[in-house]
Structure 1
Amino acid sequence: MKKVLILAWDFPPYTAIGGARPFSWYKHFKENGLEPIVVTRHWDADNNYKDAYIKSSLIKTKSIITNNYGIIIKVPYTSSFRDRLIINYGYNRFSLFRKFLSFSQFILSFPFFCFDNKKKIFTAAKAFLKNHEVDLILATGEPFILHKYAYLLSKKHNIPYVLDYRDGWTTRDDNLELSGIKKILNNFYFRSFERKYLSKAKFVITSNPFEQPKLKSIFPGTILKNVFNGYVEDEIKCGKKIKQLSDTFRIGYAGTIYSFNRVEDYLEGMRKFILKYPKAKFKLMLLGIENQPVQLKRIKEFDPLLLPFIESSPRMNKKDLINWFCKCNSLLVFTNPKIKLLPSKIYEYLPLKRKVLVSVNDKADLKMIMDVTNAGYNCNNSNEIYYALKEMYLEFIKKGVVSSSVKNYKQFSRKNQAKKLADFIHRYNF
């Protein structure tokens, strides 16, 4: 059985979406003929989402866990000076000084290990390889410093490596919009590192196909494969028996809202709908969004007319979130065709069989998924959003539910995507 050393910063119990990707490989590789060894950091389950990244690990030593899935090597994290400033004084004090520290660390961590607060991952991986053989190194980014580790470990031990991009690095759409010194650093300084790591990779995997031509532009010889993110079947099962609520039409949203998301297109479409149906039993459910106060304010200040039709809630655990998805009659996705980031929530929406409304059509990978699965409305503007809301609401008034004809979604499970990656690995004679 081929052994794969996986370098991953985000990993359970940390609940960020980035941890679910390498965890799915750890969980499903062995059933596909690969033995995974994951090197990650200690995450403390009781820390909230924001504090987890900056607080030192409660466990101060390296630990090794072996079970039926494979091996996990966890290294402790020690808060940096910048982290301790936040912990002791909050986010409002010493902000300029903290930005200087963050910038220095960001710039210097690639050429110098002494500025790298993640280097214990590299040290633990190097120690493991000193006494154990593996067939492949797989580094998932971001953080893209892990790509550096794969490059160096491969060079020292003559082991092929594969790089994983959950999102783009220097070619990510929002990075391509940078200006001034940030643009120079991105397009020349960091890209020089990215090009070096790409040049020696056996192949490269992306989670979004639209990143592939941009990676090709950096290093044309790169062999590219795509492995989507996906939904976790066990998480979805908990909500499948929950029916849509029939007292009020609810359209639900969960996930990070970015400043560039086309939120206003949706709100304008909703405003048109409310003007047409001012007494509508209608709610926009912003699930777990209260930990994003800037974006919540953005939505609530769009038009006072909409306030009675908006509800928000604090961050919630995955089970409660899935249950609320199922109670909703429709589910919402925000995107932007100019800055293409494939929203991960689309994968959870699909198997729950709730009609999806996209604001707005990204004309890329999300469009492909919507078309392949027949998931719902891929709207181009506020008028199309208005008509989609109207159509769903009239069906809801008549039937008490909104029907879905979603299909072909099982390919987007984490399990099936892990199998797809394992198949790619087996095709190469490592």
Structure 2
Amino acid sequence: TDYVEILDSCLPGLSAASDPTALGLDLAPKLKSVVMLGNSSPAGMVDRDRFEALAGSAADEDVHRLRSRIAIRDIAMMMYTSGTTADPKGCPTTHEALVRTAVTGCRNCFELTTEDRFWDPLPLFHMSAILPLIGCIDAGSTYITLTHVEPGAAIRQLRDEACTFSFSTFPTVTNAILDHPDWDAKEFTRIRAWNNVSSPDGLRELHKRLPDSRHLNAYGCTEIGGVACFTRPDDPPETWATTSGRPFDGIEIEIRDIETGQPLGNGERGSIWSRGYNLFEGYYKDEVKNAESFDDDGWFCTGDIGALDPEGRVSYMGRVKDMLKVGGENVAAVEIESLLQTHPSVSIAQVIAVPDAKYVEVPAAYVELRPDCEATEKEVIDYCDGKIASFKIPRYVRFISADEWPMSATKIQKFRLQDRFAEEQHTGSE
């Protein structure tokens, strides 16, 4: 993406600014500089060398004076949602939410020390990179990343940098590494722990492939500080496979009925609500959405489905928007995805709702097969028969390659899969 061109079009006068360290633009009067990291230095922007020189020239007393003006509940940054089910939304996030969450996770859950070499392939504009980076600074650990996730390069970096912790996090990343021909588990015994968020069966399979490593699971979203719950390294496999652990101290999680909003008991599935220091300050310039999302007591509705066990551990069960209504019956997409991913040939499965004349909507599955594996639509559908209710079995199965998934920074965008299916149906009807 040509971000320079985009900025020029959004900020008239940027490229013509006489002093890139004091822009003075009419449309953004508080914007002092745009820093360009890389080999180029477009007009109106500060390059890396000049930026570092400016930082080095700052007097210590000025730094301390400015730091003293900042309160922990001040806005630290504007983070945007991933845009998995809709357009990204701006989420003003406080210093406390960032730092307290990062330090709690890396100290208490990851147990990082100065000896750890933490590998995180996720983009630095994502909470799953920002929080570990802050936590590594606190722990004195080495933070290692790369500019583009390619499985072969990732394997080389994990090996050459002697990494001790893998924060690959998403199945799209982890499976690509473990399925690559260069992967040899015997070369990576120094990796003591892996963090992944997947279905219970997907996590059980991961444990089979990496039996000598510890594994962690998590729950969170941008609006609740990126992450609110983590399992612990000493949790037994079934705990981290089926739950995301307990909320951090200072964070509350409650499960409410999706329709009535009433609190539910342990084991009952409903909408996940959160309250605590971790919450963002409300969607940027969207009072209507804020009114829909917060109650009068400061609780925020995440839009996720889950349950609490008697020990207070959270189980994530999908998005409310991922609930299908098949002939009047509620169906969770994640339940079907979890089953599909137990098929020996299936690497990743994503289920969407598609229109149906009789049932209003029915499940359709997009499936990525494992390397050197084959399957037909009928074989995948037949695999589900007898394992789940008949109305939950995908009516359609479409196969997709790893590079065809419509992605945000880290997640598959289901609404684009729905657009793809609709286009296919439209083309087929002509």
TM-score bucket (shorter structure): under 0.3
Structure of greater relative contact order (alpha carbons < 8 Å, 6+ residues apart): 1
Normalized per residue, the structure richer in helix is 1
Return the TM-score normalized by structure 2: 0.25
Normalized per residue, the structure richer in strand is 2
